[in-house]
Amino acid sequence: MPKQQDGNGRAGRRRKRFLSPQEKYEIWMQLVRSEATMAEAADRAGVDRATVVKLRTVAKQGALDALAASKPGVRKSGPDAELAAAREEVQRLGEALKEMGVRLMLLEGKERWG
């Protein structure tokens, strides 16, 4: 019985095909929705069945990790960049105001304030 040949004339294995993240996601969704079996998904994508099995395992683990890390209703802890920038601006303006007060006192004299 002759061995199956790929497009390059080699017998045995298919040529390695790399899937984009979008293609991987589509395959994963087909499996989740039961639109295709692993064998059908592999044939449609032109990859080995082991690739689809690995994709399913990685996607499932990634989803579980993301769900474990998320806590609904709780904001992520960490520095708020906008708040930090506003505090720096307040600090800068406060220092500038102090400096201007000192200059004004030196130029006009202390007597005029009182």
Q: What is the mean pLDDT of the chain?
A: 83
- Sequence-distant (6+) residues with CB within 8 A of 30 are 36, 41
If one counts every other C-beta atom within 10 angstroms of the C-beta of residue 36, the result is: 17
Render pLDDT for 26-44 as a digit per residue (tens, 0 to 9). 999 999 999 999 999 999 9
Q: How confident is the model at residue 1 (pLDDT cuts 50, 70, 90)?
A: very low
